[in-house]
Amino acid sequence: MKNYLYLPLLAALGAACQSGPSSSSGAGKPDVLQAALDTTVAPGDDFFTYANGTWLKNHPIPASESSWGIGREVQNEVYAQLRTISQQAAGAKAAEGSAQQKIGDFWAVGLDSARADKLGAQPIQRELNEATEMESIYQVPEVVAHLVPLGVNALISPNVQQDAKHSDRMALYLWQGGLGLPNRDYYFNTDARTKKIRAQYVRHVARIFQLLDPQQLGKDSATAKANAARVMALETTLARSSRKLEALRDPYANYHKMSLKQLDKLAPLSQTTWGEWLGEMGIPKQDSVIVGQPEFYQAVSKLLQNTGLEDWQAYLSWQLTRRFAPTLSQAFADENFHFYGTILRGATAQRPRWKRVLDMEERALGDDLGQLFVKEYFKPEAKERYQKLVANIVSSFSDHIKRLDWMSDTTKQVAEAKLRQITRKVGYADKWKDYGQLQIGRNSLTENVMRANRWDWNYDLSKLGKPVDRTLWGMTPQTYNAYYNPSNNEIVLPAAAFAIPGMLDADVDDAVVYGYAGASTIGHELTHGFDDEGSQFDAKGNLHEWWTKGDRKRFNQRVAGIVRQFSGYTALDSLHLNGKATAGENIADLGGIVIGLDAFKKTKEYQEGKKIGGLTPVQRYFLGYALGWQDQQRQEALASQILTDVHSPAQYRVNGPMADVPEFYEAFGVKPGQKLYRPDSARVKIW
């Protein structure tokens, strides 16, 4: 997945996508590349800042954000459109069950802050009572079974997805989960920053309990602190049995298919069986389940048998409230933001309520919004342009595979076959989700979010036992992102991924398009099918080794090179990038650049060689790539990303791969002694 740090987004740009195909240079109009340059920085020392420095200086991070970049600019342009759509829907007398009625009611009750404040914690009171009124630890599975379908991260994480080894079947997976901090490292790292976050987390949990309590969780500060300590202790036990970020990227090591009887033996439950427990969640009877991390579920089993009732009451109440705090009264929303927005991410002010509601509306009714969006802002001729761009990038990738000196002819043939079979989804889906069974009203924002989460849960469960529908999309067209799905062997490129703020498509020259969309998005996603993880799946999407042993060994040697390169970068204080965890994304960035460049070399703009805005076509190509990573973060957000994300920070997604590309050295005259310079022998070359 390309991934942008500013998700979730409702990101798309009408102006950027309305015009038809064009290779216009935009002559006589402001040049988006020149306007962003900081020429006080040498491109050979820091290409990211050279390419984007002036733009970053002129666009400081707003108080309400933990980062700011091109994606947020795109998002702001579409927010106004979606706000208008929602306001009009809220004022219309729409038919019950129609898309307009659902959008309108979701918006109206979401904006009603007075109602939310009056309700307080009432919208979650029933679920809260179930947790606090348990009389035995043997009731814990029953409460968990009620909470999980509502979207609560309570103890276990069941989900439905394609069987990694049988991609034509949908399977039930059990994954590690149940934590309130971002991942296991936050519970054990000993640096001062993380230790401070842990202490702040416990105080945050206690404050939430004090806001909640009419009963026992926080009736006084001592009780609240005691219950917060219980939560922290239980989560620390879960974290201890959770795998590290880089370990979760190994598809074989995280695939353990077993019968329910085998699961009962692996992780026995005291008063019930796994089949019965899953059934209480509405999951149809299954012959087998795929357990991602068996040791985690062994820990769950022990906790369910040995942990005290008060600990479970506190933990389940916390996970419930944590999930819905942003939908409750201002006091809950403010406290939730204080920890997750300020302490973890560095933002100092909440985003306006209407933007937060739009984000929730997107998650609940994204396809209904998407239909309205593409009708107005992504015309057929724009889709055609980017479909042609995808075809050109695929052709370039094929040429690269043919020329590889480290891959045998046997593996090349299979690789090319897989490349040809990659499904290319561009712009938007051919069919949309049907929210007919989802009821949205004006009782409370919390109720609507709960209903939407349950609808999603049932929607996924409905796929079990049925043939895989490979036409479905995992993103809406208004999402500023893209992904490769190894089980479907497909790239999915939403309309918004091609948007450049404030620009018509016709005004963007091919060099920028090939760098911005061709390299950083299309080429990047294609390469994921052949990175250290995606290469373990065959053309049909099955986890299956199709490389020769020699090819795999030579490939891994090159991957080790990019791991060493990125592990050597210190992003903040003493925090190094995690080269192992980010390897797949770094491979895709480098692959996208070299593949996209060769595709661009076949265009008229490259072949004519004329300068635009004082820049050569190849310079514009590289700057177009850097434009896609025009982003800056607060230190808190950067530290969080290094610990939790398989994507490198934006600066390193530009400077890192550029240091390995010979044409970059030629285009900008990079010389020995400059910071990005790497001798030929040290440069990583994979594709």
CA 101 – CA 21 distance, rounded (Å) = 36
Q: Which amino acid is at 532?
A: D
Rounded distance, CA 543 to CA 565, Å?
A: 28
Residue 490 main-chain phi, psi, to 5 deg: -140, 150
Q: Across-strand partners of 493?
A: 426
Q: What is the pLDDT of residue 146?
A: 98
The confidence score (pLDDT) of residue 21 equals: 31
Query: CB of 606 within 8 A of CB of 617?
Result: yes
- How many CA atoms, within 13 angstroms, populate the side-chain half-sphere of residue 275? 11
Q: Which two tokens stand for residue 310?
A: 């008060």
pLDDT for the residue 4: 47
What's the CA dihedral at 651, 491, 246, 179 to 10 degrees?
Answer: 100
Domains of the chain: 14-81+356-429+473-682 (3.40.390.10), 121-327 (1.10.1380.10)
Q: Are 580 and 533 in contact (CB under 8 A)?
A: no
Q: How far apart are CA 297 and CA 155, in angstroms?
A: 10
Q: Which residues contact 126 (CB under 8 A, 6 or more apart)?
A: none
C-alpha dihedral, 360 to 365 to 366 to 371, nearest 10°? -140
pTM: 0.92
| Res 215: pLDDT | 56
- What is the reported pLDDT for 286? 94
Q: Which residues of the chain have pLDDT under 50?
A: 4-27
Q: What pairing do the DSSP bridges indicate for beta strands 490-494 and 423-427?
A: parallel
Per-position DSSP letters for 170-223, written without gaps between them: EEEEEE----SSSSTHHHH--SHHHHHHHHHHHHHHHHHHHHH-SSSSSSSHHH
Task: Report the pLDDT value the prediction gives residue 11, as an integer from 0 to 100.
Answer: 29
The answer to whether the CB of 634 falls within 8 A of the CB of 571 is no
Tell me how far apart the alpha carbons of residues 147 and 127 are, in angstroms, rounded to a whole number: 8
Note the pLDDT tens digit of each residue in 208-251.
999 997 555 666 789 999 999 999 999 999 999 999 999 999 99
